[in-house]
Copies of this chain bind each other. A is one copy, B any other.
Amino acid sequence: MPELRKDPVIGRWVIISTERGKKPSDFSEPQPAQRRGFCPFCPGNEDKTPPEVLAFRDDGSAPNTPGWRVRVVPNKFPALQIEGSLGRKGEGLYDKMNGIGAHEVFIETTDHELELGDLDVDHIESVLWAFRERMLDLKRDRRFRYILVFKNQGEAAGASLEHSHTQLIATPIIPKRVQEELEGSLKYYSLKERCVFCDIVDQELSQGSRLVCENAGFVSFEFFASRFPFETWVLPREHHSAYEEMPPGSYRELAMCLKDTLVRLKRALNAPPYNLIFHTAPLNEPRLEHFHWHIEILPKLTKVAGFEWGSGFYINPTPPEEAAAYLKQIEIHA
């Protein structure tokens, strides 16, 4: 059983994983390279993953057979375990609990060669609907307080399989970064009686110098205080605190804005590795006036990012305004 442990100083929970356990001696040997050749996410290999929990199939094909467009399966090596109780307990001054949660994988396309941004808008919209559908289902489990949706694109960004996919982890705790955003935005709201993210959207639209893409529903821009070169945020223009509770028409506009942004990043930066993280409200909260869901895209371009983990201190060598100007001039309809 994996274990959740809490940092007694700063309150951050971490997963001490056992399913994907690495023995100490595993690290003294060079790591094997990513396995090429066989791909468990390609059509025809459906029996090599745990049975699907959701699939979009246009042809009425049977579960766990080819015929799907988007397929969702439990992670074969889950970081958290679905069965059990939380079992909160102490160990002297430390706090811990059982590593209960869900860990699922969204296989975004049957085509092994494509990335999310390469798919057409209809297809990206299907992927976005799959996220929503799984979130709506999992939030009925009252043990869970948060659902983290994230993509590791490319080996350098942490992907262990090449075939395009996104992951979801439902946790009994709220990730520290999300907690910080909730607290920071509440502080701003207390002061101004406005959502800080709404104010950011307004300022980015009026200043324009960091904008990447805008449509009727969404805007993407290089973040003012970017930690990394080409750190890009995507936000709904209207205030929504939870991703899964947007009006149905929104997902198509998000698909359009996301595709535009990902294509620009891919062409500008030569198909960079990146992480894409959804920041949405905790589960079972009413609509929050101070929090605004959004996506953060973090291309992994620089190696000089080691000590940042330990210090929270970031040096970004590329001004966001230069990154935005560069992305804007990319030809995306070629």
Footprint of B on A, CB under 8 Å? Answer: 3, 5-18, 20-25, 27-29, 31, 79, 91-94, 148, 150-152, 155-158, 160, 169, 171, 175-181, 184-185, 188, 196-197, 199-200, 203, 207, 224-230, 268-270, 272-273, 275, 277, 279, 296, 298-320, 322-323, 325-327
Contacts and interface: CB of A to CB of B under 8 A. Distances in A.
A155 B302 CA distance: 11
B150 A316 contact: no
A275 B199 contact: no
Contact of A303 (B17, B158, B226, B299): B158
Contact of A27 (B151, B225, B270, B312): B270
A177 B310 contact: yes
A222 to B, nearest CB: 10
A149 B15 CA distance: 28
Contacts of A327: 24
Given A27-B270, A155-B303, A157-B306, 9 more contacts: A6-B225, A8-B224, A8-B225, A13-B313, A15-B315, A23-B322, A24-B318, A277-B307, A298-B310
Given A27-B229, A28-B270, A306-B158, A188 B315 contact: no
A48 B309 CA distance: 31
B188 A8 contact: yes
B158 A317 contact: no
A208 B53 CA distance: 44
A181 B22 contact: no
10 contacts: A11-B184, A14-B226, A16-B316, A21-B319, A27-B299, A31-B303, A92-B207, A158-B304, A177-B310, A177-B312
A239 to B, nearest CB: 15
Q: Which 5 A-B pairs have the closest CB atoms?
A: A177-B312, A176-B312, A24-B326, A277-B310, A158-B306
A290 B183 CA distance: 23
A309 B276 CA distance: 11
Contacts of A24: 229-230, 268, 318, 322-323, 325-327
Nearest to A207: B92
Nearest to A7: B225
A290 to B, nearest CB: 10
B310 A306 contact: no
Contact of A268 (B13, B28, B156): B28
Given A310-B275, A310-B277, A8 B196 contact: yes
A150 B312 contact: no
A175 B312 CA distance: 6
Contact of A158 (B21, B27, B307): B307
